[in-house]
Amino acid sequence: MSGPLAGLRILEVGHILAGPYATMLLADLGAEVTKLEPPGGDLSRQVSAAYFASLNRGKRSVRVDLASDEGQARLHELVRGADALLVNLKPSAVRRYGLTYEALKAWNERLVCVALTGWGMDAGDDPAFDYVVQAATGIASLTGDPNGPPQLPGYSSADNSAGLTAALGLLAQVVSGKGGQVEVSLRDVMLSQLNYHASAWLNEGRPPRRLGGAHAYYVPAQLFPTADGHLSLFITHDGFWHTFATEAGIEGYATMAERAEKRDELIAVVTKALATDTATSWESRLRPLRVPARAVRTVPEALAGAADAVIEAGPYRLVGSPIRMAGHEPAYGPPPRLGEHGAM
């Protein structure tokens, strides 16, 4: 392996998304990641080969039954040569299989152990899938039309965000030079991402409300229908507004405070103006003016327009690492076959 994390050896125990996504990002940066998979493999293998590949490229796979004495012996053997272990299981399973720092420090005192759970290691085993956590943390209540029901985004935002956070926590503990336990929960990650919404309630007593995808502070900053398609317009300051309003033929609303105060009125005015042209045409008109605006694209359209982000990992075409570093070009390997690098 090459890259900024070359030489870093990480073990992964977990299924589906958050944990495997975290370790895949680290593998992209050069870490050697070995999945410890149960006899039946990571559950994502049952979804589809492409699904599994999207979270596990460039890793090794060792098939091991952690519920057996032989499996535990194999775990301890691997731990001796590892720098970190990332576990994405429910708390009782993390403890039952001896996957905590306290349980493993006898085999490697400098080992970094990351427990990635739904609600926290001391919060029990309630199911904590992505959409459930979004509902419980208020994310769903902020999403959707204000006159309609709460909604969820079309991708796994809680799992992906938790994976990124777990990777950061793992690296922070490794950099400290000391072994130890790191905990990350999907609940805590999504509460943290409420940031200004949470602060408005905690400090000002102002409950956030569902605005149909519109920003709570900036106006206009949302999706707008056009003559053909939808346009995402994001006006964050008066300079952007002046430039946009001039191009769109809108007068007034010069300050951020006035635009926020007259939100409903202004949205109606902007909607009327944008209806005179198509989304792609508005994008073409506003981009040279440096106004933040893009037409809403489908996933196939977005990928077609971002060819530099698509890589090959064995037989799979995937979206590559979002981290780009000078002097490092990731070597994207294929996802491992179950037990390809060892089995009990």
Q: Which of 125, 119, 123, 127 is nearest to 190 (CA)?
A: 119
No. of helices (H) and no. of strands (E), the chain:
14, 11
- Which of 319, 320, 317 shows the shortest CA–CA distance to 329? 320
Q: Which residues contact 337 (CB under 8 A, 6 or more apart)?
A: 61
Is 159 designated active site? yes
Q: Give the active site residue among 125, 159, 238, 308.
A: 159
Question: Cα-atom radius of gyration of the chain, to the nearest Å?
Answer: 24
Are 162 and 116 in contact by the 8 Å Cβ rule? The answer is yes
What residues does 221 pair with on adjacent strands?
234
Encoded amino acid at 208, one letter: P
Among 80, 93, 84, 154, smallest CA distance to 121 is for 93
Strand 230-234, strand 310-313: pairing: unpaired
Which residues belong to the active site?
A: 159
